[in-house]
């Protein structure tokens, strides 16, 4: 966003850990169009798990390429489909989407007019993934907002924290109750410079909000490396106790995707510099590059790490889809060539799942047709098929999408299918190939 700039620097202690982590990246089918600054979220659709992308900016990142298009990713088929567009007057960016009680809520964002005027949105779009249609909009935001932190508490309330509202950064916390279609105001973030931000991202673990990075409009548009914490009063969720955990968390971070599991929270992608929608730095118009980082905090171990990866080439991420089983999907973003991307990736980390402590094995099924065996699993792993004598006759990595194996690739007779996910004991199923 075009905002008045005053340069300012703040020297802070920086913690930087080196770790390869447990993350694996798998390329999935591309989005139908390149898009960035799109609101990405998971949902349970009528045909199974799905990922949705709402709005964004495409192509070469000009304001004329901001759009209202909606895309749905069918996890089991590794397939993107286009759905009905966002029911708004024009395209917008910097909104966020949350999935609560079987519906998706797309909140805020901003429009860019032909003359360059930017207007923050007050709208709440409600999307039903079971019917794949937009329902009537929810009650509007009390304060129009974009580039905000958005997180879900106990699958019941959506917290909209700080962000940019038309002409400046705001400290407000707006809380939406989907069941009542109503807004209340929470304890605002403290007004001094560590807290208000735009382009930050966060997540709620239990009753605690964590949000990190973002840029501040006063006294500069400088990206920050500040980690903030807000403890929600479970008896009165409008009351939040705000503190800064640490103001030296490695490199600054702007527009990264954030999620978590159990005692771990992490941020994927983003950039070290704050930038406009065209990927140019605010105060000098230099091209901003992705930071290729996952920043991870383990609250149980009280440790943090920075994990760098060549696959992690995205910034301008406004959401990440959490699918369970240690699996997340990101879609789109801005690449290192200053263009919107079509790329979709599956991020897998078995350490951030419950499969290691589960009392039941992960789901493993084999459907059979005249010409194929189709393997269905809940998690990422390996499929190995043996003959009756124990010889390996087929081996393949299994991602989230169903794996179809032509019977012509297999010998006839008794087949022993095994599924391994490197966490649980292998599961064995037998089939006869006539």
Comparison of pLDDT for 429 and 158, the residue scoring more: 158
Q: What percent of the chain has pLDDT over 90?
A: 68
User: Quick one: the chain helix, strand, coil %, rounded to 5?
Assistant: 0, 50, 50
**304 and 173 part of one domain:** yes
Contacts of 403 (CB under 8 A, 6+ apart): 374, 375, 383, 396
Is residue 400 pLDDT above 80, yes or no? yes
Give the pLDDT confidence score for residue 423 in this predicted structure: 67
Mean pLDDT of the chain: 89
CATH code of the domain in which 119 resides: 2.120.10.80
pLDDT digits (tens, 9 = 90+) for 1-29: 443 332 222 222 223 333 346 898 989 99
The helix or strand, by DSSP H or E, that contains position 153, with its residue range, turns out to be strand 149-153
Is residue 399 pLDDT above 70, yes or no? yes
Q: What residue has token string 């920050």? A: 224
Residue 9 belongs to a domain: no
pLDDT digits (tens, 9 = 90+) for 262-306: 999 999 999 999 999 999 998 888 999 999 999 999 988 888 888
Nearest 5°: phi and psi at 409? -80, -10
**Residue 377, Cβ neighbours under 10 Å: how many?**
22
Q: How far is CA 346 from the centre of its chain?
A: 11
Is residue 199 pLDDT above 80, yes or no? yes
Give the pLDDT confidence score for residue 353 in this predicted structure: 79
Report the distance separating Cα 342 and Cα 258, nearest Å: 20
Number of domains in the chain: 2
CATH code of the domain in which 387 resides: 2.60.40.10
Give the pLDDT confidence score for residue 14 in this predicted structure: 29
Give the pLDDT confidence score for residue 17 in this predicted structure: 32
Comparison of pLDDT for 423 and 124, the residue scoring more: 124
Burial group, residue 274, by CB count within 10 angstroms (0-12, 13-18, 19+): buried
Residue 337 belongs to a domain: yes
Give the pLDDT confidence score for residue 432 in this predicted structure: 87
Q: What residue has token string 């702007």? A: 254
292, 322, 352 - which closes a domain = 352
Domain range for 389 is 365-432
**266 and 373 part of one domain:** no
Give the residue among 399, 369, 307 at the shortest CA–CA distance from 21: 307
**301 and 374 part of one domain:** no
328, 352, 376 - which closes a domain = 352
**327 and 372 part of one domain:** no
Is residue 169 pLDDT above 80, yes or no? yes
Full-model pTM: 0.85
Helix, strand or coil for residue 261?
strand
Lowest-pLDDT range of 58-67, 168-177, 363-372: 363-372
Lowest-pLDDT range of 2-16, 313-327, 368-382, 391-405: 2-16
């Amino acid at each position: 966003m075009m905002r008045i700039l005053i340069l300012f620097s703040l020297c802070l202690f920086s913690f930087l850990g080196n770790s390869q982590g447990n993350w694996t990246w798998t390329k999935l089918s591309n989005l139908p169009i390149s898009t960035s600054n799109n609101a990405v979220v998971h949902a349970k659709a009528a045909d199974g798990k799905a990922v949705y992308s709402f709005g964004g900016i495409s192509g070469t990142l000009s304001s004329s390429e901001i759009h209202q298009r909606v895309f749905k990713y069918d996890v089991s088929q590794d397939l993107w489909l286009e759905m009905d567009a966002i029911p708004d007057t024009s395209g917008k960016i910097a909104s966020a989407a949350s999935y609560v009680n079987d519906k998706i809520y797309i909140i805020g964002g901003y429009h860019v007019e032909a003359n360059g005027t930017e207007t923050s949105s007050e709208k709440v779009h409600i999307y039903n993934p079971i019917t794949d249609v937009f329902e009537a909009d929810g009650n509007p935001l009390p304060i129009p907002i974009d580039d905000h932190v958005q997180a879900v508490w106990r699958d019941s309330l959506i917290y909209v924290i700080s962000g940019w509202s038309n002409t400046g950064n705001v400290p407000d916390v707006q809380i939406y109750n989907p069941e009542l279609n109503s807004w209340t105001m929470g304890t605002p973030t403290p007004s001094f410079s560590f807290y208000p931000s735009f382009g930050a991202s966060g997540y709620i673990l239990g009753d605690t909000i964590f949000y990190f990075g973002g840029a501040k409009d006063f006294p500069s548009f400088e990206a920050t490396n500040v980690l903030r914490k807000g403890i929600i009063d479970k008896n009165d969720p409008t009351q939040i106790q705000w503190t800064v955990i640490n103001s030296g968390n490695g490199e600054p971070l702007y527009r990264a995707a954030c999620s978590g599991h159990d005692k771990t929270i992490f941020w994927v992608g983003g950039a070290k510099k704050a930038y406009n929608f065209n990927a140019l730095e605010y105060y000098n118009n230099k091209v901003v590059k992705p930071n290729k980082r996952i920043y991870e905090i383990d609250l149980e171990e009280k440790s943090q790490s920075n994990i760098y990866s060549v696959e992690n080439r995205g910034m301008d991420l406004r959401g990440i889809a959490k699918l369970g089983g240690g699996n997340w999907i990101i879609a789109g973003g801005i690449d290192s060539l200053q263009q919107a991307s079509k790329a979709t990736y599956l991020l897998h980390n078995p350490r951030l799942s419950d499969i290691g402590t589960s009392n039941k094995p992960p789901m493993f099924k084999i459907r059979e047709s005249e010409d194929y065996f189709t393997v269905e699993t809940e998690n990422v792993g390996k499929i190995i098929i043996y003959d009756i004598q124990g010889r390996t006759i087929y081996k393949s990595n299994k991602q989230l999408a169903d794996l179809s194996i032509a019977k012509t690739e297999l010998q006839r007779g008794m087949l022993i299918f095994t599924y391994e996910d490197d966490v649980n004991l292998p599961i064995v199923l037998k089939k006869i190939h006539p």
